[in-house]
């Protein structure tokens, strides 16, 4: 266990409310289209979105005819996903991101947003191995993450404020070089109510992450040449 498994109870209440409104639908649709292009799959392919949150990427891809499975641990997120228009086109599964029961099933998979690195090193490796096992040989996995040290350290500020709808979010950031983790205290404020929660994200150097993917059953390339200015890095990993 790391940091008391903070992710198990983080995604409920105000945190979920904020994420539901944080990214406009048009931005999510463009992101979904980009992911499909990187996966290089045919129309109607079977894809895995893990973790899927409220389905902001699974839903537009299902609308385009892809056979989607969305996996997330948060029952609250999945409740919103199942209530969304077109939700019946997606198979929703509530499970830990390491608990993927399928073998050689999917034509492609992706992990997007700020969803990678919650676990300790062994847990992150277990997740990647589970994704590899769920994919067909030769299928691609897109890992989109801001937790690449060369980029994160160039952009991270000690404190940041955001406003989403009627909610305010304060993030206090501290990078612990000894553990390789970004420790964040999140404070959500709405209608005079304040809720503070802690999150912890493992950051890897570019090379470390390539090696971790390689050791988990993938060969790796990137979507485009790496630059220090990039806020996130998209790794394209092909199952051996």
Please state, in angstroms and rounded to a whole number, the distance separating the CA atoms of residues 55 and 72: 9
Tell me what pLDDT residue 146 has.
95
What is the DSSP secondary-structure string of 183-208?
EEEEEEEETTEEEEEEEEEE-B-HHH
Write down the CATH number for the domain with range 3-146+204-239. Answer: 3.40.50.150
What would the DSSP string read from start to end of 73-141? Answer: S-HHHHHHHHHSTTGGGEEEEE--TT----SS-EEEEEE-SS-S--S-HHHHHHHHHHHHHHEEEEEEE
Whether the predicted pLDDT of 13 surpasses 80 = yes
Q: pLDDT digit string (tens) for 101-134?
A: 999 999 999 999 899 999 999 999 999 999 999 9
Domain ranges, ordered by start, for the chain: 3-146+204-239, 151-199
d(Cα 20, Cα 77) in Å, to the nearest integer? 9
pTM for this model (two decimals): 0.96
């Amino acid at each position: 266990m790391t940091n008391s498994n903070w992710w198990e109870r983080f995604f409920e209440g105000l945190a979920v409310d904020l994420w539901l409104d944080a990214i406009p639908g048009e931005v999510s649709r463009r992101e979904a289209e980009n992911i499909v292009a990187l996966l290089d799959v045919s129309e109607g392919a079977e894809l895995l979105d893990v973790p899927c949150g409220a389905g902001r990427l699974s839903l537009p891809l299902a609308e385009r005819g892809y056979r989607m499975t969305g996996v997330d641990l948060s029952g609250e997120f999945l409740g919103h996903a199942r209530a969304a228009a077109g939700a019946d086109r997606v198979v929703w599964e509530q499970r830990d991101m390491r608990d993927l029961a399928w073998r050689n099933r999917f034509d492609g998979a992706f992990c997007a947003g700020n969803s990678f690195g919650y676990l300790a090193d062994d847990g992150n490796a277990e997740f990647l191995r589970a994704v590899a096992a769920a994919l067909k040989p030769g299928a691609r996995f897109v890992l989109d993450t801001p937790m690449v040290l060369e980029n994160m350290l160039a952009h991270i500020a000690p404190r940041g404020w955001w406003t989403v709808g009627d909610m305010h979010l304060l993030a206090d950031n501290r990078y612990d070089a000894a553990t390789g983790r970004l420790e964040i205290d999140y404070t959500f404020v709405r209608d005079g109510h304040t809720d503070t929660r802690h999150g912890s994200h493992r950051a890897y150097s570019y090379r470390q992450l390539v090696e971790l993917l390689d050791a988990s059953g993938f060969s790796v390339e990137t979507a485009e040449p790496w630059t220090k200015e990039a806020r996130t890095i998209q790794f394209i990993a092909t199952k051996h």
